[in-house]
Amino acid sequence: MKIGIIGVGNLGYSIALGIMSEKKEIRCKSLYLTKRHLNSLKHLEKASMVKITNDNKRAVRYSDVIILAVQPAQLKEVLEEIKDTINPKKHTIISVVSGRKIKEIESVLGADVKVIRCMPNTAISVGQSMTCISANGLAKKDVTVAKTIFNALGETLCIEEDLMQAATVVCASGIAFWMRLIRATTQGAVQLGFHSDEAQQLSMQTCLGAASLLIDSRNHPEQEIDKVTTPSGCTIEGLNEMEHQGLSSSLIQGIVASFKKLNQI
Ligand SMILES: NC(=O)c1ccc[n+]([C@@H]2O[C@H](COP(=O)([O-])OP(=O)(O)OC[C@H]3O[C@@H](n4cnc5c(N)ncnc54)[C@H](OP(=O)(O)O)[C@@H]3O)[C@@H](O)[C@H]2O)c1
């Protein structure tokens, strides 16, 4: 696979590192990385498969898979720039640009181009992204390409494109929601007597452990909760107090509020 990433900023850089570290699985023969100011990428050129350039057309010409990772406001200009270099039979376009629909990309590149839209989250930088993927009709067979790339950087789920906004809230904004839960439980631990660094360690590892229990067992959360709630014990006392104060309700309402706001932007 010959891959080009157009717009190697925060996200593009994490994807590039993932591709470079998992090259056996992805079988990447060459990796073209583009941005306008190349200084921050110079060190990557030590790897033989990496070419850095500010010539987007060149990156397209020498690649089969083009990953678009510019800001939403920069997308149209980039698409206009590369459209004459795109060969619908050769190229697969993968866009990670938030809020930009497959139709918008097709409207510039043509409806005969294979387009895949992906929504990763910031945990991609530690190889733990939850990435949602959808594709136009022509690219359905090529979804495996996107899955191979993003499975090397976490987990993937194929969804209908009309769920992409919801996925953005649950997974991309979701990182912030989970951070707040970790912060809150850290504050609780400090109040109970732990130093803040110890408190955060307890909170983070317990959070990771809870998620890992569900991932390994595939159990419903309530099955794992049942295992730690002794009748009349302290855990159920705390849980019920949290629910009286609106824990589940406020999380659900927050997710719905984020979704409404995203649809207005
Ligand atoms: N960060 C995340 O975790 C995340 C998650 C999901 C989706 N997204 C989406 O991914 C996209 C990138 O996000 P980001 O955080 O990586 O943004 P970013 O750091 O601003 O990266 C965008 C890069 O595009 C380059 N660029 C701008 N115009 C260009 C052009 N004409 N040709 C080539 N390169 C160009 C910029 O570098 P130069 O100025 O040097 O050209 C910049 O490094 C956004 O659409 C964002 O919504 C991000």
**H-only helix segments in the chain:** 10-21, 23-26, 56-61, 72-82, 102-109, 143-151, 164-167, 174-191, 196-217, 221-228, 234-244, 247-264
pLDDT confidence of residue 31: 96
Ligand 1 pocket check for 151: Cβ under 6 Å: no
Q: State how far the alpha carbon of 177 is from the alpha carbons of 220, 232, 243, 244, 252, in Å.
A: 20, 30, 17, 20, 11
With 60 as the cut, is the pLDDT of residue 23 above it? no
CA pair distance 106, 110, nearest whole angstrom: 5
CA of 81 to the centre of ligand 1 (A): 16
Question: Does 3.40.50.720 match the CATH number of domain 2-159?
Answer: yes
For CATH 3.40.50.720, the residue range(s) in the chain are 2-159
CA of 99 to the centre of ligand 1 (A): 13
Q: Which residue bears the tokens 């459209």?
A: 83
Ligand 1 pocket check for 71: Cβ under 6 Å: yes
With 70 as the cut, is the pLDDT of residue 191 above it? yes
pTM: 0.91
Looking at the DSSP assignment, which residues form a beta bridge with residue 117?
95, 134
Percent of the chain at pLDDT above 90? 88
For CATH 1.10.3730.10, the residue range(s) in the chain are 167-264
Confidence of residue 16 (pLDDT cuts 50, 70, 90): very high
Percent of the chain at pLDDT above 70? 99
Side-chain half-sphere exposure of 210, counting CA atoms within 13 A? 17
Chain mean pLDDT for the chain: 95
Q: Which residues contact 195 (CB under 8 A, 6 or more apart)?
A: none
Give 205-235 pLDDT, tens digit per residue: 999 999 999 999 999 999 999 999 999 999 9
Give yes or no for a contact between 165 and 262, defined as CB atoms under 8 angstroms apart: yes
Neighbours of 33 (CB within 10 A): 26
Among the listed ranges 10-19, 33-42, 61-70, 91-100, which one has the minimum average pLDDT value? 10-19
Architecture per CATH, 167-264: Orthogonal Bundle (1.10)
CA pair distance 134, 161, nearest whole angstrom: 5
Q: Which residues contact 17 (CB under 8 A, 6 or more apart)?
A: 125
Inter-helix orientation angle 102-109/72-82, to 10°? 30
CA of 12 to the centre of ligand 1 (A): 7
For 130, the token pair is: 């939850």
Give 163-174 pLDDT, tens digit per residue: 999 999 999 999
pLDDT confidence of residue 21: 82
Confidence of residue 24 (pLDDT cuts 50, 70, 90): low
Looking at the DSSP assignment, which residues form a beta bridge with residue 158?
133
Give yes or no for a contact between 131 and 124, defined as CB atoms under 8 angstroms apart: yes
CA of 137 to the centre of ligand 1 (A): 26
Among the listed ranges 20-24, 56-60, 108-112, which one has the minimum average pLDDT value? 20-24
With 70 as the cut, is the pLDDT of residue 10 above it? yes
pLDDT confidence of residue 232: 97
With 90 as the cut, is the pLDDT of residue 141 above it? no
